[in-house]
Amino acid sequence: MATCAVAGRLAQREASMSNIVVVFDFDKTIIDIDSDNWVVDELGATELFNQLLRTMPWNSVMDKMMDELHIQGKTIKDLEQVLNRVPIHPRIVPAIKAVHSFGCDLRVVSDANTFYIDTVLRHLGVRECFSEINTNPGFVDDEGTLRILPYHDFNKSTHGCNLCPPNMCKGKVIERIQSIFGTEEKKKIIYLGDGAGDFCPSLKLVDGDFMMPRKDFPVWELICNNRDLVKAEIHEWTNGEDLEQILLGLVASIISTEDTKNSVENTSQLFDCKFETIALEALPKPLYVPH
């Protein structure tokens, strides 16, 4: 669904001006399921996966599973077909395209792998919206087997974070992203996630940033129980429709605040699109989660 004329004009002006970085988790955030479980279940390997999970870390299990599936005759084409039918809420893609059109810098920070994420995002037509994908390396070897490596090679050294799994600390990824902006104009980060692995990066966000945890999922519960540790403003969401409305509202609010030096017509209504209207008066309020 196309964005509205007002959004289009603002997007053209803001494309090189936005100081907003939107960081998406992948599993159960962009897509509505866990991609590893989806692939394993769809290819009929759940029992073997559960057996291996008792003996090695998750990331290592997935690499082993790709080898086993290859031995069973499953091809890269089979993997792509499974990934191309992952469940996704119909408002996610429009939300991604909308915030990208407003000049936001979109990035993925995920504990999935590059092959899964690239395949899904290209199928959805939004891969070009993302400037960077931070995840476990996934590549097809000479024998046609998908290999999945850890983001942090824990066989050589530990990343030193006791909140995250051994293969990836998302907090360290956020710190690296923040360091890039160290000498630039202040950037505001909006982080969206659902899992326990998204709690560490939420602790790296600073005052002026925004954390969007998925309600009743592990990261939301961790934030509720450790509210004083999170400096960012918190806005919970439950599904794709929620995600779209809250994310676009936050972006509109930030752009409106930064745009006081420019004259903009219809400043009371940044989004008046075919699919919905988000007025400034209806922008999301911060969530005050219980201690």
**Mind telling me the catalytic residues?**
25, 27
Copy the structure tokens of residue 206: 């600073």
> DSSP readout, 50-92?
HHHHTTS-HHHHHHHHHHHHHHTT--HHHHHHHHTT----TTH
* Closest by Cα among 199, 190, 251, 209 to 229: 199
98/124 Cα distance (integer angstroms): 14
* Cβ-based neighbours of 172, under 8 Å, separated by 6 or more: 152, 159, 161
The amino acid sitting at 36 is D
23/147 Cα distance (integer angstroms): 25
271/102 Cα distance (integer angstroms): 11
* Cβ-based neighbours of 202, under 8 Å, separated by 6 or more: 191, 193, 211, 213, 219, 223, 230, 232
Give the Å distances, CA to CA, from 191 to 37, 68, 105, 108, 216.
24, 35, 12, 10, 17
Copy the structure tokens of residue 54: 């008792």
The answer to whether 227 and 291 have CB atoms below 8 angstroms apart is yes
* Closest by Cα among 138, 122, 200, 192 to 165: 200
